[in-house]
Amino acid sequence: MREDIDLVFFKQLLEERLATLTAGAGDGDRPVELDQTRVGRLSRMDAMQQQAMSQAARRLVNQEKVRIKTALTRLEEGEYGYCVHCGDDIPEGRLRFDPSVPSCIECAREAENR
**Structure confidence at residue 100 (pLDDT):** 97
State pTM to two decimals.
Answer: 0.79
**pLDDT tens string 10-50:** 999 999 999 999 997 665 555 555 555 555 666 778 888 88
Question: C-alpha 109: how far from its chain's center?
Answer: 19
pLDDT category at 111 given cuts 50, 70, 90 is: very high
- Alpha-carbon distance 60 to 26, whole Å? 14
